[in-house]
Amino acid sequence: MDDKSARDLAVRTAFRAGRLAAARIGEPGYLRWKGLRDVVAGASVEVQDEIVAAIRAECPDDAMLLEEGPEDEPLDVAAERLWIVDPICGSLNFVHGIPFFAISIALRVAGQLRVGVVYDPMRDECFAACIGEPAYLNDRPITVPTMSQGPEFWEQSWVGADLPNDGPLRKEALRVLELHAKEVLSLSVLGSPALGLCYVACGRLNVYWSLDAKPWDVAGAGVVLQCAGGLLTDPEGGSWIHSAGGYVAGNPSLHQWALRAIKYVKQHPDPV
């Protein structure tokens, strides 16, 4: 299966899964807490099962990395073809009935992320891309808007972010939020890294960052952003592919301004 066929499969699968998710928003079924602010809903597992069944029907030999396990299933992370799935990116929003979440599906081939699809069923918006081709929002090509590098453009920026669930990284993120809030026009905590990256890709946000996202949160959206001409790195400005959990996305001109506050907080730990 080539990249375009894989993208089309991911789009069809995301639409099917999205219909199920939309029907269950606000009625998530059982809740299992993996940790503070980290929840699994019964509906999320149902959506994931729908995705797995659809992909395995056409790609039975491909491996899968799934957010919701099963935990006892061995993961072939070195597989030649690996699908990376987040059935509900935005779980807390979803279980509280807040209509801001997405289905995320990515395909890695020979160690390279090749295909990314992020579907928001509440807005019927599908972000899709494969390497070497334009990124799309539904049927419309999207690109990251170009902007100048001066501080006056950073001051006019719309920035999205998400907070780590707990611990030292959450404290760091709150300090970064405080610094950015003093500098930019608007700052929003979104609850869905996949949509945050896609909103940068289509120009709704100028920058998005998270200090503790997981591979399934960003894999699909990272492909979309890359194909739309955006810049995605780790918090040090290095490769996002090898990030330990921090991601910074933006217009290439404004990305450096977002990094400044993150680097400052990393280099100046809170003495308290």
Can you tell me the distance from the alpha carbon of 121 to that of 138, in angstroms, rounded to the nearest whole number?
12
Q: What residue ranges define each of the domains in the chain, with the CATH number in brackets?
A: 3-142 (3.30.540.10), 151-267 (3.40.190.80)
Can you tell me the distance from the alpha carbon of 59 to that of 1, in angstroms, rounded to the nearest whole number?
8
Nearest residue to 14 (alpha-carbon basis) of 258, 260, 224: 224
> What's this model's pTM, rounded to 2 decimal places?
0.92
State the pLDDT confidence band at 72, using cuts at 50, 70 and 90. Answer: very low
Q: What is the pLDDT of residue 271?
A: 64
Tokens of 104: 């995320």
- pLDDT tens digits, 76-126: 667 899 999 999 999 999 998 999 999 999 999 999 999 999 999 999 999
Can you tell me the distance from the alpha carbon of 71 to that of 176, in angstroms, rounded to the nearest whole number?
34
Out of 94-108, 147-161, 226-240, least confident range: 147-161
Q: What is the pLDDT of residue 70?
A: 60
Q: What is the pLDDT of residue 40?
A: 75
Q: What is the pLDDT of residue 36?
A: 67
Check: CB of residue 255 under 8 Å from CB of residue 262: no
Can you tell me the distance from the alpha carbon of 153 to that of 176, in angstroms, rounded to the nearest whole number?
19
Q: Is the dihedral of CA 75, 78, 79, 84 positive or negative?
A: positive
- pLDDT tens digits, 167-186: 898 999 999 999 999 999 89
State the pLDDT confidence band at 217, using cuts at 50, 70 and 90. Answer: very high
Nearest residue to 47 (alpha-carbon basis) of 85, 77, 4: 85
Which DSSP symbol is given to 107? E
Three-class DSSP category at 233: strand
Where residue 146 falls (left for φ over 0; alpha for ψ -120 to 50; beta otherwise) is: beta
Tokens of 109: 């081939």
